[in-house]
Every structure is written in C-alpha cells, then in structure tokens.
Structure 1
Amino acid sequence: MRIEECEDISDIFSIFHDGGIVAAYHQDESFVLEIEIQYLSQRVNPEYNGFKVSLYGFSNAVFTTWPKDSKSNPKKITNVKSIFKSELEILQANLDDNKIEVLCELLSSEYDYYGGKLSFTVNSAEVQDDSGKVYSIEELGVLCKSYWDEWAANNK
C-alpha cells in the first residue's frame, strides 16, 4: 500500500516528529530511511523501536545546513551518504513546489552545523513497522493522534 500524494508523504515526516533517522540506504528500487521513534512504535508493540520508510523515485536530495557560527554561510550537501552520516532528528515537514522539506536537528556535535533542511523529490512511499506490517497515511495519523491525545490527558 503505497502512499502517493506528496502532501501525504510530507505528513509521514510530521507524524514522526522527534523520531531519529538512524539509517539510510538503497534497497531494490527504493531508498529506505529507518526511523527510530519508540513513543509511536511501542503503541503497536512494546518491543518495537521504529518504522522503515521506503521512498520510491527518491531524487534531488539536498541538505541545507544551519551553521553553528552565525557568520558562516549554509552549505548545501548533495551526497546522500554525507547527509545521513549522523542521526538526524525530525522536527517538522512541509511541501514546497512538490518537494518534500524536512527540518532536522543534528544530534552529533562533531559538525559545524546543528541541523538543516532536507529537501527531495519522491514518487511514492511505504511505511512498515518492525514486523513488516504496512501502514496507510490514515493509520499513521490515528496512531499519532491517539498518542498525543493520551499525552495531553496525562499532562493536564
């Protein structure tokens, strides 16, 4: 069950807010992001750690850095291995001119930037949990909403 609307694909990354992209690699005809997000995955199964997002037609990836030194200019990184060399924490996502834009914080202190904007184009996506179950955007939305509703109720 592939998710094909660009807006829905962008929503995947907003749903995975605070999740960490811990691995990225090519697999068959897709580019796979492993996202560690225990607060959502453990709602499915207490032993799960995250989800795999398979991106089909993934291209034009650019990571525009947020320099630590305010006098430095942002860098544009286009090498996919360099972009995902360290874990990126997902902050939020949006869609701009059919490009997915994901704002990320860099969890490593060894770089001269603290995060940036990851943008890319994609044709479709598929999201799986640790068991291989595939999720629709609606199912992901329900999972996310139930978590945040419970969180709000517990933090009144």
Structure 2
Amino acid sequence: MQAEFWGILHDGGIESISGDVPGTVSINVSIRYLRQYFPGDGIGFRIELGNCTRFEYQEYDAAPIKDFAAIVAMDPEILSLNSGHVSVVVNCVMGSLTMAYEEASVFLDSGAPVTFDELCAASKAYWDEWRARIKKKVI
C-alpha cells in the first residue's frame, strides 16, 4: 500500500505497537470517525509494516525513541504525512514518527483487510459530510 494512507489517518491516536525491528511491526491506530465507515464494530485500524528496518518517534527538540512502549506512552496523534525517499515521516502533534519498511497492509481492528481505495472513499465521505454540517451551521 502507498505511504499516503498515513495522511488519511489524520487525528488517529497510536494505541499500541508490537513486533521487531528489523522485521514486522504492528501498529493499532484509534480513529473512530473513519472506522465508522466500515462494517462491524470497532474503533480503528491495524497497520502491518513488513520488513521494517527503522521505527522511531522523536518529540521536537528531543532524542529519538525506539522503544515501542515508550512511544505509545508519548500518546502520539497522527497529523500528516511527510514522506521522504528512504524513510516515511509521519508528522504527529508533538513530534514525528520515522519509519523505513518495504510494505504496509491495513486492516480493520476486527481483522478484515482494507484497501487504499476503501480508505480514500471513507475519508472522502467523512469530510464531505463534515463540510455539509459546517455549511449548514453557517447558513
């Protein structure tokens, strides 16, 4: 899956991280507003990074953190994607998450796979509805 999916997860909170670097890393992201556009109950998504060789979080003006539990304790919230040539950099509220991996897969927290197109459609539906609600309030 293209790295652009990270930008679609805007406002998602990283709830847990597991796995090994190098190896496979699994990240659970809570993002209810987007999850509601998919079948079944749930609060977010699981991202599987295959052949991950770098995974670290760095708060602004601080040293990078590689320990998964310490990263989760920082309560990072995804803002946007700032992708590079070798690494993927995800801007968060108080810092950035830098990763290098060969492949990424996204699943509902219930386990069903999600395609990039499905994520894009859900995001578009949410933001279209959001704009309509705001427009209605302004009028």
TM-score (norm 2): 0.86
Task: Report the count of equivalent residues.
Answer: 133
Equivalent of 2:117, from 112, 131, 138? 138
Q: Tell me the C-alpha RMSD between the 2 structures.
A: 1.8
Larger mean CA deviation between 96-105 and 56-65 belongs to 56-65
- In the alignment, is the contact (CA less than 8 A) between 1:22 and 1:86 conserved in 2? no
Q: Within the alignment, does 1:151 sit opposite 2:139 as a pair?
A: no
Alignment of 1:93-112 (within 5 A): 93-105=81-93
Which amino acid in the other structure matches residue 24 of structure 1? I
1:121 positional shift = 0.3
The alpha-carbon distance between structure 1 residues 35 and 94, as it changes in their structure 2 partners (threshold 3 A), is same
CA distance in 2, matches of 1:146, 1:84: 29
- In the alignment, is the contact (CA less than 8 A) between 1:13 and 1:92 conserved in 2? yes
Which amino acid in the other structure matches residue 65 of structure 2? I
Alignment of 1:15-54 (within 5 A): 15-26=8-19, 30-45=24-39, 47-54=41-48
Helix, strand or coil for the counterpart of 1:43?
Answer: coil
User: Residue 12 of structure 1 aligns with which residue?
Assistant: 5
Equivalent of 1:86, from 46, 49, 74? 74
Deviations along 1:14-66, one digit per CA (max 9) or x if unpaired, are 10100100000018x52110000000101214632101011111122232221
User: Residue 101 of structure 2 aligns with which residue?
Assistant: 122
Extract unaligned runs of 5+ from structure 2: none
What percent identity do the matched residue pairs reach?
Answer: 29
CA distance in 2, matches of 1:81, 1:22: 10
Helix, strand or coil for the counterpart of 1:91?
Answer: strand
Equivalent of 1:65, from 34, 48, 59? 59
